[in-house]
Amino acid sequence: MNPAHQFVAIEAANRGHPESLDRPHASPATAGSDGNRTAMIKLAIAIAALVSVASAVAARKGTTMDIIRKAELKTVEGPSDYFTGKVTITGQFQRPSPSRVGGAIVHFEPGARTAWHTHPAGQTLIVTEGVGWTRIEGGPKLEFHAGDILWCPAEHKHWHGATPHEGMTHIAIQESLDGSPVTWMEKVTDEEYLAPGPAAPQIEG
């Protein structure tokens, strides 16, 4: 019951007992009893008000969408320990528990790429601009383009980046296990990066 409803209920109860509203000749004992009753009513209304506010805040937390505006996104340079060439990382995030999802928008200038690395729960890459290369250890080098979506399975050692002549941007999404979304390894050498790969897939249409 919210404070307004409580007030109506108390007022209605007093109307049923008009003698309780005006007692100019009440005894000290009766006056003390009335004072206690008034204090209890005020306390009940205050508690109800606090419960109402707490409920409203809880409801707002459960129904409000968290939006980070484009102008608020922070961009940092990709650490040289984990990338070769010029790489920028924008809007990096890690969602709070119980979610384990994190991600970022990553832009690679021509020739830039990640170091070899693995993800404990795999990784999804949504390519938004340019052309890139990727390779899983022991597998072929693959080329991908804007509009493609890549999936790298969990614990597969791999790298990805731009091609030598065109930059590339992707949205990287991965989950953390034991507090970590990635294990970084050695850098990709020029020989590994430029090793021959299959021709780009032909798109019919």
Q: Are 158 and 152 in contact (CB under 8 A)?
A: yes
Q: Are residues 122 and 147 in the same domain?
A: yes
Same domain as 161, residue 112: yes
Specify whether 57 is located in the same domain as 124.
no
Contact 106, 88 (CB under 8 A): yes
Range of the domain at 37: 3-63
46 contacts: CB under 8 Å, gap ≥ 6? none
Each residue's pLDDT expressed in tens, for the chain with a length of 205 residues? 444 433 333 344 444 444 443 444 445 555 566 667 777 776 666 665 555 555 554 545 567 888 999 999 999 999 999 999 999 999 999 998 899 999 999 999 999 999 999 999 999 999 999 999 999 999 999 999 999 999 999 999 999 999 999 999 999 999 999 989 999 999 999 999 999 875 455 445 4
Phi, psi angles (nearest 5°) of residue 106: -120, 125
Q: Looking at the structure, tell me whether residues 134 and 151 fall in a common domain.
A: yes
Give pLDDT, residue 126: 98
Residue 201 in domain: no
* Residue at 202 is within a domain: no
Q: Let me know if residue 161 belongs to a domain.
A: yes
Residues 42, 135 share a domain: no
Q: What is the pTM of this model?
A: 0.67
Tally of domains within the chain: 2
In the 8-state DSSP scheme, what is residue 157? -
For residue 199, tell me if it sits in a domain: no
